[in-house]
């Protein structure tokens, strides 16, 4: 019997056994395992699940935990205004995954980013300008010009981003940004905040009840698509509702078919992804190694750079096995690594 998902805190993993093959909630299609729950790392399904009116209590609970300074009682979705027109000629328009407003008018832009994107921070800053402009325009529309000191008295804007990759090294998961004075740290304004969950930094394949909410949320979102049940470490009610909302069987027959098609990525696609990750990893490692090599010796720096590139490839291979349900053999063939090089001891 071959395990295709790492054990989770004593929880039985999905396995290729007769019992699982008979379980209608777990499907095996062309080497891809489709679990009991929808993998909401896919942008479309993230929007569908957390952007649904019937699941807004889940999003409220998540936002309350991530933004404790706001007393979020209720939210309403701005579904008709997800497309933001770029004011620049030939510029790309912005499309928000989920945009909502709480009862006091505070705006929340919630984004899921599955794959690494260059200039992510700059894009997040660009996105934040739209809800600010919309508030100012709405306030002034059809009215006489407001007093100068009230014209820009808009409600705060929060950009909440879930990243299935890492920007920073280390194990820190949640990062919070605001506008502050560089030397003293004095806040310039409390009207613009960025909250980023770097789920790629949570590398453990298990979760404990004592872990932080950010760690638990990272684990749940990252592994949702391959789990066969809610792990005992996720004891909070918000996770009970999150797993309930992501039940594949809650989708219509047409939606289930659409979801299966979305998850059936060809082997060639995976090889292209892995090749890109390998090249980027080696290039990044080489650049760092070369820089240090100029200071401490070229040979030593080159070796360290190559090792960093190799570690990036190992991490990619592990994610394909643990998160995407590919077999060890498939990941090994696509990366050129032997199973012993990327499997946890």
Query: CA-CA distances (angstroms) from residue 164 to 32, 102, 115, 168, 301?
Result: 19, 26, 6, 12, 29
**Measured distance CA(205)–CA(226) in Å, rounded:** 12
Residues 6 or more apart whose Cβ sits within 8 Å of residue 183: none
Residues 6+ apart with CB under 8 A from 121: 167
Q: What local confidence, expressed as pLDDT, does residue 335 receive?
A: 77
The confidence score (pLDDT) of residue 290 equals 57
The residue whose two tokens read 């998961």 is 173
Contact 321, 331 (CB under 8 A): yes
DSSP string, 39-99: -TTSHHHHHHHHTSGGGHHHHHHHHHHH-TTS----EEE-GGG-EE--SSTTPPPEE-SEE
Q: Determine the length of the chain.
A: 345
Beta-strand relationship, 187-198 and 107-113: unpaired
Task: Count the Cβ atoms, other than its own, within 10 Å of residue 152.
Answer: 12
> How many helices, marked H, and strands, marked E, lie in the chain?
11, 10
pLDDT score recorded for residue 316: 79
Q: At which residue do the structure tokens 């209608």 appear?
A: 24
Q: Are 4 and 205 in contact (CB under 8 A)?
A: no
Contact status, residue 207 vs residue 219, Cβ threshold 8 Å: yes
Q: What is the pLDDT along the chain (345 residues), one digit of tens a residue?
A: 333 333 333 333 333 333 333 344 444 444 455 679 999 888 889 999 999 999 999 999 999 999 999 989 999 888 766 667 666 655 667 778 899 999 899 999 999 988 787 889 999 999 999 999 888 887 777 555 555 556 788 999 999 999 988 899 999 999 999 999 999 999 999 999 999 999 989 888 889 999 999 999 999 999 998 888 999 999 999 999 999 999 999 999 999 988 888 877 534 455 555 666 666 665 566 666 656 555 555 566 567 667 777 787 888 788 777 666 677 777 777 777 888 887 764
Q: Is the pTM of this model over 0.85?
A: no
DSSP label at residue 3? B
Strand residue runs (E) in the chain: 27-29, 32-34, 75-77, 83-84, 94-95, 98-102, 107-113, 157-163, 174-180, 187-198
């Amino acid at each position: 019997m071959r395990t295709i998902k790492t054990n989770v805190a004593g929880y039985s993993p999905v396995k290729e056994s007769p019992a699982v093959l008979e379980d209608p909630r777990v499907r095996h299609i062309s080497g891809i395992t489709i679990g009991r729950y929808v993998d909401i790392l896919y942008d479309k399904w993230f929007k569908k699940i957390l952007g649904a009116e019937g699941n807004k209590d889940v999003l409220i609970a998540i936002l309350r935990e991530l933004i404790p300074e706001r007393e979020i009682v209720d939210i309403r979705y701005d579904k008709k205004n997800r497309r933001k027109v770029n004011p620049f000629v030939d510029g790309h328009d912005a499309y928000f995954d989920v945009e909502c407003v709480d009862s006091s008018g505070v705006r929340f832009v919630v984004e899921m980013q599955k794959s690494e994107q260059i200039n992510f921070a700059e894009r997040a800053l660009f996105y934040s300008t739209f809800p600010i402009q919309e508030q100012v325009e709405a306030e002034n529309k059809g009215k006489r010009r407001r007093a100068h000191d009230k014209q820009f008295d808009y409600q705060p804007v929060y950009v909440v981003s879930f990243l299935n990759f890492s920007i920073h090294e280390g194990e820190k998961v949640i990062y919070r940004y605001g506008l502050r004075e560089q030397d003293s740290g004095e806040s310039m304004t409390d009207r613009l905040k960025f909250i980023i969950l770097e789920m790629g930094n949570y590398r453990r394949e298990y979760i404990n009840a004592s872990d932080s909410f950010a760690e638990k949320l990272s684990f749940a979102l990252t592994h949702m698509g391959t789990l066969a049940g809610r792990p005992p470490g996720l004891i909070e009610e918000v996770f009970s509702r999150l797993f309930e909302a992501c039940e594949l069987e809650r989708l219509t027959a047409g939606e289930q078919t659409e979801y299966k098609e979305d998850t059936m990525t060809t082997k060639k696609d995976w090889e292209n992804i892995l090749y890109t990750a390998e090249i980027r990893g080696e290039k990044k490692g080489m650049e760092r190694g070369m820089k240090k090599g100029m200071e401490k010796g070229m040979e030593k720096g080159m070796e360290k750079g190559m090792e960093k590139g190799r570690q990036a490839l190992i991490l990619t291979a592990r994610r394909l096995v643990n998160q995407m349900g590919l077999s060890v053999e498939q990941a090994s063939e696509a990366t050129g690594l032997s199973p012993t090089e990327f499997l946890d001891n």
